[in-house]
Amino acid sequence: MKAVVWKEPRKVVVEEVDRPAIQEPTDALLRLTTSAICGSDLHMYEGRAPLEPGTIFGHENLGVIEEAGPSVKTIKRGDRVVLPFNIACGFCFNCARGFSNACLTTNPKSHGAGYGYSGMGPYAGGQAEFVRVPFADYNCLKLPGTAGDQWEDDFVLLADVFPTGYHATEQAHVQAGDTVAIWGAGPVGLMAALSARIKGASEIYVVDCVPERLEKVRAIEGATPVDFSKGDPVEQIFELRKPHREKVQNLRPGAGDKMPGVMCAIDAVGYEAYADDAAGERQDPGQILRDVVRVVNPTGHISLIGVYFPEDPRGVTEDEKQGRFTLELGKAWEKGASIEMGQAPVKRYNVYLRDLIIAGLAKPSFLVSHRLPLDAAPDAYEKFDLRTQGYTKVLLKPAIRGEA
């Protein structure tokens, strides 16, 4: 079968590899109809996370079951399913408590497993024609419809970015009427903004500097793009919030001046952040950590959903190469802010988000910019990495032939 294979930093190829097979009675084999390129794939593509040459990429996988093992009870050949990027058993201590992102069974070296991803176990990814699905009864989410229908591009986003964006709003404790600031208008940041809208946030600000991404923000009702190449994004948000503070917060004397920011702040970028004063030119992994602490109001909440790896060979400083980042803990403590972080437990949300899609109340595929054949993956990775030509979210379609 064909698959997208990592060779070395900034080099992936599409080549023939062995088709996966059922290894355990609880396995299934999925024939891919859509697999997405994720922003977090770029960490490995760039060589900023350890990876073995020959690894098959792809942790956002949608398709049709080709074969099910003899112990699989609820999934059968022909079922249409989407896979959470977390590979989980469903019965360990963490899975039983809803933390499928920290499964203790599936990764022999650590907690948490995933498809085709650094440090997340020995599992091939799904940017391929077929992928093996461990613990298929637990990991497959059944879907209505048929491959290529009106829901295809929405359903594939249930594998990662939609649940991850929703989890960011859970970490940030977003409730109806809340004010929210999100750093990063990539797929996860956009899905966090959509999720904040679903939850009824009153004000949503999304910070980025890429024009195509900022334009996507405008597609979300009530969301305001903030271009940090135009000036300090925190000060811009303070200024944008002034009308609300004058109309509402100042009804209680002094409240507006002491609460100039937002109640919920989300970092959807992580350690590859750019400095506010050098948009797109100079990386500063601590920039957003400083910004979210500044922007959050006293008693507010911060979500760090963006990736921070424990090691980064291309880190700006020696500390950052070892996964050590500076957080203004004193200021956060003074504000009484809560901080939550880590990967999303996709299983906790995907069934509910699926039903929002089916009901027509969420259309996450608005962020998709390109739908390409598998053979186009090397060029797509290069352009997505450079954020060129409007590459915001790329879907790979293995059934389509050709390179463009």
Answer whether residue 404 is part of any domain. no
Shared domain check, 246 and 109? no
Shared domain check, 205 and 138? no
Shared domain check, 255 and 366? no
Total tally of structural domains belonging to the chain: 2
Stronger pLDDT, 400 or 382, i.e. the higher one: 382
Looking at the predicted structure, is the pLDDT value of residue 403 above 60? no
Shared domain check, 204 and 175? yes
Looking at the predicted structure, is the pLDDT value of residue 200 above 70? yes
Mean pLDDT over residues 15-21, rounded?
A: 97
Q: Are 191 and 367 in contact (CB under 8 A)?
A: yes
Highest mean pLDDT, choosing among 240-254, 297-311, 346-360? 346-360
Looking at the predicted structure, is the pLDDT value of residue 163 above 90? yes
Shared domain check, 68 and 181? no
Shared domain check, 216 and 156? no
- In 3D, which of 403, 346, 350 has the Cα closest to residue 379? 403
Q: What pLDDT shows up at residue 88?
A: 98
* CATH code, 45: 3.90.180.10
pLDDT tens-digit map of 318-358: 888 888 888 899 999 999 999 999 999 999 999 999 999 99
Shared domain check, 263 and 369? no
> Which residue range forms the structural domain that includes residue 237?
163-341
Mean pLDDT over residues 89-117, rounded?
A: 96
Answer whether residue 15 is part of any domain. yes
Looking at the predicted structure, is the pLDDT value of residue 399 above 90? no
| Percent of residues in the chain assigned helix, strand, coil, to nearest 5 | 30, 25, 45
Shared domain check, 278 and 133? no
Shared domain check, 221 and 117? no
Answer whether residue 261 is part of any domain. yes
Q: What pLDDT shows up at residue 137?
A: 98
Using 50, 70 and 90 to split pLDDT, how confident is the model at 64? very high
Answer whether residue 269 is part of any domain. yes
Average pLDDT, the chain: 93
- Mean pLDDT is lowest, of 194-198, 253-257, 326-330, 369-373, for 253-257
Q: Are 180 and 201 in contact (CB under 8 A)?
A: yes
Shared domain check, 316 and 284? yes
Share of the chain above pLDDT 90, in %: 79
- CA–CA separation, 73 vs 388, rounded Å? 45
Using 50, 70 and 90 to split pLDDT, how confident is the model at 193? very high
Q: How many H helices and E strands in the chain? A: 14, 15
Mean pLDDT over residues 185-197, rounded?
A: 97
Q: 169-201 burial string, b = 16+ CB within 10 Å, else e?
A: bbbbebeeebbbbbbbbbbbbbbbbbbbbbbeb
Highest mean pLDDT, choosing among 198-207, 209-218, 250-259? 198-207
Q: What pLDDT shows up at residue 250?
A: 66
Q: What pLDDT shows up at residue 404?
A: 47
pLDDT tens-digit map of 363-392: 999 999 999 999 999 999 999 988 777 888
* CATH code, 292: 3.40.50.720
Shared domain check, 359 and 323? no
Shared domain check, 115 and 189? no
